[in-house]
Amino acid sequence: METPQHFTLKQVAESIRKTIAERYSRTYWVTAEMHKLNQTRKGHCYPELVQKEDESIVVEMRGTIWKQNFDRIQQKFFEIVKEPLHDGMELLFHVKITYHPLYNIGLEIIDIDPNYTLGALQRERQETLERLNKEGILNANQNLEMALVPKRLAIISQADSKGYSDFVTLLNGHPKRYHFNTFLFEATLQGDAAITSIQNQLKRIQKVKHHFDAVIIIRGGGGEIGMHCYNNYELAKAIATFPLPVLTGIGHSTNLTVCEMIAFRNGITPSDMAYFLLSIFEELDAPLDEILIRLPKQIQHLFQGNKNRFDQLTRNFQQTVRAVLSDEKQSFIRAVKDFEYEVKHRLSFSNQTLLEVRNKIRSSSVYFLENQKGKQLHLINMMEVHSKSLVNRKSQGLINQTERLIRISPVKIREELLKLDQTEMQLKLVDPLNVLRRGYAIVTNENGVLSAKNLAETGQELKITTEAQELKAKVN
């Protein structure tokens, strides 16, 4: 059989390379998501380019950006978009289709259009605003009522952030030393990581919301870099629906993000937020300063007026007390005399009444005692008569019972002896020895006496008991 025409793998790869080079000789503009940038130490990048439908990847290709192109693209992109290239961005690539025997088909990226990305970010911002408005929560946080004096503050920031440091320094550095209770919830504040990080800290704060009056999100420095995360729908919704007022000072001056627009209040910088909170205290404090100036004079005037009124009232009170005491003294003397007369009259009447009662009690007691004594003697006589009669009846009954027992006992004893003789005769008749004497024998095995329930088996040893002897037998 003849060997068919064949080619080496290298020849096939070279044929594919030439075909693709001839067919796709020009460059193309392609939209795709840069899933991962994959920058190397030498400065080259090998991004993973994907297209998604319903959050599922339907196409994935390898990309290549050589160092000289990447430096140029990165600089141009940053100047227009105000952010560096990073993972997960939707981009418009200027590409050339290439084939490599080892790395297969790929796209060599010559340029990236930053204006397309800027438009995509603006679209995301507009879509987020429209979704929040459609759900009726666009102004939800702004409609909350903040505490009259918001002094318990939950701060979402980074501990080493200059913005956080400036914010705390301003709050605590006021000449009047207004007191704020601040608690830091550390979070990432720029880039894609900020979305989840800030949401997680908002969830933590919500669990202890009763400890705070407001939430402050502050970010210092960095300009416009990494601000796209504040247009994210999920983060904006978390802020819009948060149960406490959320204030933002995320450090940039143009193009308000969605999170700033829907927050209870926003400031360009953390310092603006600090001045806003201090202004609340100052506004409440201003009337107090004015009152403190007028208060000493008013107090002095009030004290003097009260002193004059008190002196006049004291004099009037003294005169009234003297008059009342004089009247009360006369009334008391008259009441004492009336009381003495009444007491004497009542004592005389009470003595007479007591004497009459004592005589009545004495005569009644004598009569009662004589009457009770007669009744007791009568009862004693009655008890003696009844006792003798009862004893006589009981004695006669005992005598009758004794005579009856004497008559009946011999007959009863003879009857019982006869029954005993009959029982003894019956026991002798059923005695096993008497049965054996009549020629019977008892056959037993290891389970007991043979019967319908205990039959002998072949090879089993039996014991036969007669009157005169015991025999052993074996069943054949």
Identify the pLDDT of residue 262.
Answer: 92
Residue whose structure tokens are 């829907």: 262
The three-state (H, E, C) secondary structure of 184-253, written as one string: EEECCCCCCHHHHHHHHHHHHHHHCHHHCCEEEEECCCCCCCCHHHHHCHHHHHHHHCCCCCEEEECCCC
- Which pLDDT belongs to residue 62? 92
Pairwise CA distance, residues 337 & 204, whole Å: 86
**Cβ neighbours for 197, distance < 8 A, ≥ 6 positions apart:** 187, 188, 189
Q: Give the predicted TM-score (pTM) of the model.
A: 0.49
Same domain? 177 vs 264: yes
In a domain, 332, yes or no: no
Residue 262: name the closest of 232, 218, 224, 220 by CA.
232
Same domain for 53 and 180: no
**First vs last Cα of the chain: how many Å apart?**
92
Phi first, then psi, for residue 426 (nearest 5°) are: -65, -35
For residue 376, tell me if it sits in a domain: no
* pLDDT attached to residue 409: 75
Say how far apart CA 226 and CA 216 lie, in whole Å.
19
Distance CA 335, CA 70 (A): 119
Task: Say if residue 135 is in the same domain as residue 273.
Answer: yes
Residues in the chain: 476
Specify the pLDDT at position 102: 86
Do 281 and 134 reside in the same domain of the chain? yes
Burial zone of 48 (CB within 10 Å; 0-12 exposed, 13-18 middle, 19+ buried):
middle
Co-location of 83 and 231 in the same domain: no
* Distance (Å, whole) CA 233 – CA 126: 10
Domain annotation covers residue 25: yes
Look up the CATH number of the domain holding residue 35: 2.40.50.140
Domain boundary among 71, 86, 112: 112
Are 60 and 163 within one domain? no
Report the pLDDT value the prediction gives residue 240, as an integer from 0 to 100: 95
Q: Which residues pair with 28 in a beta bridge?
A: 95
Across 414-446, b (16+ Cβ under 10 Å) vs e yields eeeeeeeeeeeeeeeeeeeeeeeeeeeeeeebe
**176, 345, 472 from 464: Cα distances, Å:** 125, 126, 6
Confidence at residue 289, expressed as pLDDT on a 0 to 100 scale: 66
pLDDT at residue 354, rounded to an integer = 83
- 271 part of a folded domain: yes
368 in a domain, yes or no? no
What's the confidence (pLDDT) of residue 224? 53
Q: Is residue 460 part of a domain?
A: yes
Q: What does DSSP assign to residue 49?
A: E
Say how many C-beta atoms besides its own lie within 10 A of residue 70's C-beta.
20
Identify the pLDDT of residue 77: 86
pLDDT at 183: 96
Residue finishing a domain among 78, 112, 146: 112
Please check whether residues 80 and 182 belong to one and the same domain. no
CATH number at residue 217: 3.40.50.2300
How far is 102 from 17, CA to CA, in rounded Å? 11
Q: Give me the pLDDT at residue 253, please.
A: 55
User: Does 146 reside within a domain?
Assistant: yes
> What phi, psi does 436 have (nearest 5°)?
-65, -35
Say yes or no: 206 and 236 in one domain. Answer: yes
| Rounded Cα–Cα distance for residues 14 and 33 (Å) | 30
Residues 6+ apart with CB under 8 A from 356: none
* CA atoms of 319 and 209, how far apart (whole Å): 64
Total number of domains in the chain: 3
Domain co-membership, 172 together with 204 = yes
State the Cα–Cα distance between residues 180 and 172, nearest whole angstrom: 7
- Whether 429 maps to a domain, the answer reads yes
Q: Are residues 142 and 240 in the same domain?
A: yes
Tokens of 334: 């008259």
| 253 and 220 co-located in one domain | yes
Tens digit of each residue's pLDDT (9 = 90 or more) over 327-339: 888 888 888 888 8
What pLDDT score was predicted for residue 120? 72
270 and 191 co-located in one domain: yes
Q: Residues of the chain whose pLDDT is less than 50?
A: 223
Task: Supply the pLDDT for residue 215.
Answer: 97
Domain that holds residue 208: 129-285
The 470-474 sheet, strands edge to edge: 448-449, 442-445, 461-465, 470-474
Domain boundary among 264, 285, 306: 285
